[in-house]
Amino acid sequence: MKKKDVVIIGGGVIGTSIAYELTKRGKSVALVEKDTIGAHASSAAGGMLGAQVEFAEPGPLFDLSLRSRLMFPDLQKELYAASGIDIQLKTPGMLRVAFTEEEKSTLMKQAEWQTAMGLPATWLDTKEVRRMEPAVTDGIVGALFLTEDTQVSAPDLTKAFAVAAAKHGAAITENCEAIEFYRQGEQMTGIETTAGKLEADEYVIAGGAWSGKIMKQLGHSLPIFPVKGEAFSVLSIPHPIEKTIYSHGCYIVPKSGDRLLVGASVKDCGFDARLTIDGLQQLMAKAVRLLPVIKDCPLEKTWASLRPQTADGLPYFGRLSAYNNVSIAAGHFRNGILLSPITGQLIAQLLSGEATAEALEPFTDIRHSIPVSQ
């Protein structure tokens, strides 16, 4: 294959978003994915754009999440025009429920700092919640109503990024693994893959939970590790809820058609992505507690996948400190779908010599990269 501007390793929502943004800027891109596009966390995700619900305190990642959430309405139109795929952006908001006074007080604090920043976050008592969503259990003490936390279809978003990037000329190869990296000093000069050698001016690692393993192949250790999430879906017509209902350890997301998606466990099991009876049983019990009518819904599917977590909870974006021409975009943990538009934009800006719309300093590998002794 002819030398490219950029080779991307990883065909999840992050790799495909970067490919899309780069090709929009006229860059020639090759993307390799060891399985199929979106085969792992990107398609398993609930698709929540939970910028407010997922953060208990402000910080640089919260700011980035808000910026990314704002990008979705335009992205929906843009991706539909470029790929013909509707990412199914739905905007009825989210209810973060509390079952105890302690949870309520934590959520009230969250509401306080978020409203001080000008964001909508309203506390509703049980009656108000049930007026809005009558199927939610009366066993709660109330809920935080987050009107701006919305949702998309995660598999469709990933597919749309990939199809749009391919339409703009990206060469996407599935079932293709990077097996060897060639370097001269601080310059990566090529990669050997199971489908042949690839050369580019710039390389991007966007391998999700596998990014730490790829870093080891490059001779560096970055604390990126897998955290398993188990989930299931049921069928229900009509939907018993309009908004996403989110509680500690369980969320229920009403999807298009007759599906309700229920996620997700959070388990440290290494690279074992198998679904367990225990995980499913606990999640089902939490879902029934939250939305009692769900117990009579027919089960549609069950699944599990691996989220990419980092030691300090912040993802890695930007050029790797040990190289001139290798970047990373990995470790998005629970927020890969939400952060995919801004990640694609930032990495594409960086590799196109543009000023990045956000500062990358808090997210670079300098905080953790350790050479692996050979």
- Give whichever of 34 and 334 is closer to ligand GLY, judged by the CB atom: 334
CB of 334 to ligand GLY, least distance (A): 4
Task: Give the x-and-dash track for 19-58 against ligand GLY (CB under 6 A).
Answer: ---------------------------x-x----------
- Give whichever of 14 and 191 is closer to ligand GLY, judged by the CB atom: 14
Count of helices and strands (H, E) across the chain? 9, 21
> By three-state DSSP, how is residue 279 classified?
helix
Site for ligand GLY in 128-147 (CB under 6 A): none
Q: How far is CA 244 from the centre of its chain?
A: 17
- Give whichever of 90 and 334 is closer to ligand GLY, judged by the CB atom: 334
Backbone angles phi, psi at 366, to 5 degrees: -55, -30
CB of 261 to ligand GLY, least distance (A): 10
- Give whichever of 265 and 349 is closer to ligand GLY, judged by the CB atom: 265
Give the Cα-Cα-Cα angle 363, 7, 164 (nearest 5 degrees). Answer: 90
The C-alpha atoms of residue 27 and residue 296 are separated, in whole angstroms, by 51
The C-alpha atoms of residue 329 and residue 152 are separated, in whole angstroms, by 21
Q: Should residue 155 be labelled a site residue for ligand GLY when binding is judged by CB under 6 A?
A: no
Q: Should residue 229 be labelled a site residue for ligand GLY when binding is judged by CB under 6 A?
A: yes
CB of 264 to ligand GLY, least distance (A): 4
> By three-state DSSP, how is residue 282 classified?
helix
CB of 181 to ligand GLY, least distance (A): 30
Site for ligand GLY in 272-331 (CB under 6 A): 307
Q: Is the peptide bond before 238 cis (omega within 30 degrees of 0)?
A: yes
Task: Give the x-and-dash track for 156-195 against ligand GLY (CB under 6 A).
Answer: ----------------------------------------
Pick left, alpha or beta for residue 137 (phi over 0 → left; psi -120 to 50 → alpha; otherwise beta). beta
- Give whichever of 13 and 218 is closer to ligand GLY, judged by the CB atom: 13
DSSP 179-222: EEEEEETTEEEEEEETTEEE-EEEEEE--GGGHHHHHHHTTEE-
How big is the site for ligand GLY, counted in residues (CB under 6 A)?
Answer: 7
- Give whichever of 28 and 265 is closer to ligand GLY, judged by the CB atom: 265
Task: Give the x-and-dash track for 343-362 against ligand GLY (CB under 6 A).
Answer: --------------------
Asked if 235 and 50 touch (Cβ cutoff 8 Å), the reply is no
CB of 335 to ligand GLY, least distance (A): 6
- Give whichever of 54 and 202 is closer to ligand GLY, judged by the CB atom: 54
- Give whichever of 244 and 349 is closer to ligand GLY, judged by the CB atom: 244
The C-alpha atoms of residue 371 and residue 218 are separated, in whole angstroms, by 9
> By three-state DSSP, how is residue 155 classified?
helix
The C-alpha atoms of residue 186 and residue 201 are separated, in whole angstroms, by 13
Q: Which of 93, 207, 263, 341 binds ligand GLY (CB under 6 A)?
A: 263
Give the Cα-Cα-Cα angle 75, 301, 161 (nearest 5 degrees). Answer: 20
The C-alpha atoms of residue 168 and residue 181 are separated, in whole angstroms, by 27
Q: Should residue 250 be labelled a site residue for ligand GLY when binding is judged by CB under 6 A?
A: no
The C-alpha atoms of residue 246 and residue 171 are separated, in whole angstroms, by 39
CB of 239 to ligand GLY, least distance (A): 20
CB of 52 to ligand GLY, least distance (A): 13
- Give whichever of 15 and 263 is closer to ligand GLY, judged by the CB atom: 263
- Which positions lie near ligand GLY, rule CB under 6 A? 46, 48, 229, 263-264, 307, 334
